[in-house]
Amino acid sequence: MHPVLFHIGALYIPSYGALAAVGVLLALALAQRNARVVGISPRHLWNLCVVTLFAALLGSRLLLVLMNWSDMLRHPLWILGLATIHHPLLAATAALVGAVAAGIYARWQHMPYANTADALAAPITLGLACEQFGALLAASGFGKGAQVPWAVTYTNPLAFRWSGAPLGIPLHPVQGYAALAFLTLAILLVVWLPARRQAGDLTGVALMGVGIAIFFTEFWRDWEGRGFILRGVLDWPQVFAILFVLAGALILRSRQPAQIPPEPSGDESASPEATHV
């Protein structure tokens, strides 16, 4: 595959970072559309997304620097390559820090939590799909060995250097499995949003869908560095996936009626004086 999308002289543009950036842009555009559907301010939702992204990036990169502090002191220029590193712990940290930042901003701007989460459900899932397509190109989170016609074989030395992927061995394209699952879920959420009956419907379904996708695709991933739970029955991403499913089910049980703005009628354009005889 292609861990480097293209390069200009000595400047390498990694496929993973480029596809993740595309996913962010698509998610932001879709979030603006969804904000109008659920009746919240597109400007506030845009600001919330930007705050969340910066918080998530800062939190995950800070953790990475702290985990490799001694190496960073010896090779400070390595910080320029941090965007090429992909790890479940970093992803979990980014998600947690981003969610906290989003909650703080939403409370500050008095944004309705359930409607805001519903507006973000499809964009986040679409962003995850793009991120996994980038991971497939870069060999991040690579799969187990496979003897299937659609197996992928990495040959670029950078795939091993950046992600530790074995070279010359057919592997399950598990990142592609996850990307297709997330993309299918995102399309479902986009279609369903205007027809939802209660606020929180999409959030609950998105959490459950993402959790199910992560749980089952992990069986095809190489578990090296992902942690072993219950003597290797599960890994840490699967534990978080179970928590996602439980959280989604809890949200679906406690969701509130959706506050969808009514369509403006022709009478509303009349002046107040015109309504009195």
Higher pLDDT, 73 or 34: 34
- The single-letter code of the amino acid at 22 is V
Q: Per the domain annotation, does 270 fall within a domain?
A: no
Domain assignment of residue 99, yes or no: yes
Q: pLDDT band at residue 10, thresholds of 50, 70 and 90?
A: low
Overall domain count for the chain: 1
Identify the three-state secondary structure at position 51. helix
Domain that holds residue 248: 4-258
Residue 59 has pLDDT above 50, yes or no: yes
List 199's β-bridge partners, or say none: 256
Spatial distance between the Cα atoms of 64 and 66, rounded to a whole number of angstroms: 5
Give 182-218 as a DSSP string: HHHHHHHHHHHGGG-SEETHHHHHHHHHHHHHHHHHG
Question: Does any domain span residue 80?
Answer: yes
**108-150, pLDDT tens digit by residue?**
999 999 999 999 999 999 999 999 999 999 888 889 999 999 9
Is residue 234 helix, strand or coil? Answer: strand
Q: What is the mean pLDDT of residues 205-228?
A: 88
271 part of a folded domain = no
Write out pLDDT tens, residues 198-213: 988 999 999 999 999 9
Q: Assess if residue 38 is contained within a domain.
A: yes
What percentage of the chain reaches a pLDDT higher than 90?
44
Residue 245 included in any domain: yes
* Residue 265, domain member (yes or no): no
pLDDT in tens, 236-254: 888 889 999 999 999 998 8
Question: Exposed, middle or buried by CB within 10 Å (0-12, 13-18, 19+), for 260?
Answer: middle
Average confidence score pLDDT of the chain: 82
CB-count exposure of residue 275 (10 Å: 0-12, 13-18, 19+) = exposed
Predicted confidence at residue 125, as pLDDT, reads 95
- 11 lies in some domain: yes
Winning range, highest mean pLDDT, from 7-21, 209-223, 247-261: 209-223
Of 269, 259, 275, 231, residue with least CA distance to 119: 259
